[in-house]
Amino acid sequence: MTPPSPEASGTTASASWLDLLDWRRELNDLYAHVREERTHDPRAAHRHWQERRNDLFRRHPQTPLPADERAAFAGLPVWEYDPALSFDAPIDTTLPPERLIVASSTGQDMPLVRIGRASLTPAAPTTPAFTLDVYWIDVYGGGVFVPFRDASSGHETYGGGRYLLDTAKGADLGSVRAGHLTLDFNFAYHPSCHYDPRWSCPLAPPQNVLGAAIRAGERSRM
């Protein structure tokens, strides 16, 4: 997600970039704690994730919230933790890499490379298995990126989708074993453009649209 320009946010350029650095450090610390705590108490890790994100949204200079909404902010709506929507997902890397350009919320292009495909098999036998493509953000620094849209998008969640992983920004749930990624929909979160359209956020591509509603993670404020 690309923040608004320093001029748009009313701050000096140097202060804005240092604030962004601090925001990313705090996110890295948050997800390091989540990765450690999830191994023995995923519900507690989920509560910690909510509390820290609420704190960042409430008081950090890089909060995505518009200035006129910060005083009344009461917390991000989140569904209750559902262990059935947490996956140790094997990644098929035998697929040929596929380059694509996805649009952002502000019309900018974001280059991605598909580096694999995650297979997710729900515990409930009545729920069909599904897949998600895993991307590398193909710009300087890069990072693993797993966005998705589902049947809740545009109604209960942001229409452009939510993110499971964006390691360039610190959102990394880790791996239990080689060749796998931890994909836990309970930690799915909205991009910043959901809160303020000044932010530029890549939208989930058609390959990662799920037919079912994933009622886990962050909800819309609607």
Residue 222 domain-assigned (yes or no): no
Residue 215 domain-assigned (yes or no): no
- The number of domains in the chain is 1
Alpha-carbon distance of 159 to 151, in angstroms, equals 10
Alpha-carbon distance of 148 to 162, in angstroms, equals 6
Q: Which residue has the tokens 């589902």?
A: 150
Inform me whether the pLDDT recorded for 9 exceeds 50.
no
User: Structural domain of residue 74, as residue ranges?
Assistant: 6-208
Which segment, 2-11, 70-79, 118-127, is predicted with the most confidence on average?
A: 70-79
Given a contact cutoff of 8 angstroms between Cβ atoms, the answer to whether 132 and 120 are in contact is yes
pLDDT tens digits, one per residue of 126-180: 667 899 999 999 998 899 999 999 999 999 999 999 999 999 999 999 999 999 9
Distances (CA, A) of 168 to 27, 47, 132, 144: 11, 23, 19, 7
Residue 104 domain-assigned (yes or no): yes
Residue 103 domain-assigned (yes or no): yes
Alpha-carbon distance of 101 to 99, in angstroms, equals 7
To the question of pTM greater than 0.85 for the whole model, the response is yes
**Would you state the pLDDT for residue 222?**
47
**Would you state the pLDDT for residue 141?**
87
Residue 214 domain-assigned (yes or no): no
Residue 221 domain-assigned (yes or no): no
Residue 189 domain-assigned (yes or no): yes
**Would you state the pLDDT for residue 12?**
52
Residue 43 domain-assigned (yes or no): yes
